[in-house]
Structure 1
Amino acid sequence: MTKPYAEVIGDPITQSKSPKIHNFWLAKLGIDAAYRACHVTPDQLPAYLGARREDLDWRGCNVTMPHKQAIMPLLDRIDPPADSIVAVNTVVRHGNDIAMTGTNTDAAGFLEPLAGDLAQTHYFRMARIIGTGGAARAIIAALAGHGFTLVVAGRDPAKARALLDELAPGGEHHTPPLAHFADPTDFAFDDREGCLDLVVNASSLGMAGQPPLPFDWSHAPPGSIAYDIVTAPLDTPFLHGARARGHRTIDGLSMLIGQAAVAFERFFGQPAPREYDAELRELLTT
């Protein structure tokens, strides 16, 4: 007997924590469904979607690299905010309708732990964002929509500028080279009272097996919030350095769980049981 299921697709896919998250919630809610990982290479993507259209048990999928943009022309509809971010991380199908809809839950997941801060009024908001990949697209669009002046740094400043021109046009944003943040600075920051400052690692730098993130915390104003989307390791050197300077930190599980919760409700029709977040975090870190 078959049962409803959703999955996460990507290349590679073994590192994904999504199956643990969704199956944890399914068990807590007593929903007879499953969530799994499926390795899909770029050349397999059209055939994968074609097969899932005919599978009425399939409720949708999360989409990881390198498919977040490549999947878009293969879908029937692109919903906000994926249409403006120009990246899809969630595909859903409604009931027995074979039409596939792409959306993006990364932006909502990223903003979730900042909700209390964003509810306040600030004289000025600035975010220093490291990275120009798929996750950075959602983060740039999300923060631009909340009135942030953006400083986007990557290996290629021209790519950073193109992202800002596409996703946050009209603002006085900046694109320094990544190396700008590597060395200490004696810059004297002005009074930051009433301001909201973020420093976001939206890249894979600092992830296990990847080069370290070259960021010296003298570049962050007092009172900045450090946010790292890396989940392996969870407590990165970037976050260690932030805490040593007295900054508040947000780790990568915050965004991962937040975006998964939005997708879960779309797949299975019930809100994720967030009252178990502490237990879920323990599961994901052991």
Structure 2
Amino acid sequence: MVDSGGDNSGVNFEWALLRGGNIIRQYSDDNTLVIKNADPSNDYGVYRCEVEDDDGELIGQAYAAVTIGFTDPSNARIVKFDEKSAATIECPVYAIPGATVTWEKEDGELPANAKMIGDKLMIDEFDDDTVGMYVCKVDVQGKQIEGYVKAEIYVPDTIIQVLLEPSSESISLGDRAWFDCKVTGDPDAEITWTKEGEDELPDNTQVMGNRLLFVNVREDNGGIYKCHAKTKAGPLETRNVLNVGIAKRKRKRISRKKEKRAYKEAWNNDKKKKHSSSIFGTWFTSG
């Protein structure tokens, strides 16, 4: 920025950055102000140049409103809001007093629940319909400057995990069993299954969405099974071991009543057996 006041002999210059009528910082006393590596969030505002004579008397002053960046759709300011929350979109072009600000939405009309207040656009409830590119137009003494703001719904970063859940901790021959592969943080992940050391899955398995189902578990189904998930963060996998046990026969429990009856019958049978083996007779002596 240059204060072109003609002959500069006997005059002094003083630069300052103003916002809202307040001095943010003061700069050099040269007639030219150079800002290196301008920061869009720190160096915007109204720059004032005051010219004084050697006695300190004010000769005159000039103002320049400066906006850094955000004046092109490819370099738009990005703002994010929680879904269903109130949103305030601020024009990235600094508007000096007396400037008029109007708003437009690039892909259509402004939302019905939007209100323009000064250099801000207030939206009562931010949702999918209000997402998009907004343009604020600042008119200063017949000159128009455009600023671009891209408004998005805030999506928190999520941790993507792949979890494998078996239908049971104890699986026996002949059981119906399965593994469920669950991907947290990416419901659209693509799932595939493999058995370690084998080219194909056993012929008694079925893949049903994210489930690997075993129909009538066999002994050769034992082994390590892997779930492969192709997620938006890259490929992930997890594994689980299928141990096939042999089902144990259950002992038939006899009730106490039946136990007593069986014991009594056995005792009676034993008694009859003893009677049947006894010999009865009469002894005679010969005379």
Structure in which a larger fraction of residues adopt helix: 1
User: Per chain length, whose mean CA-contact separation is higher, i.e. which structure has more relative contact order (CA < 8 Å, sep 6+)?
Assistant: 1
Structure in which a larger fraction of residues adopt strand: 2
> Greater Rg, structure 1 or structure 2?
2
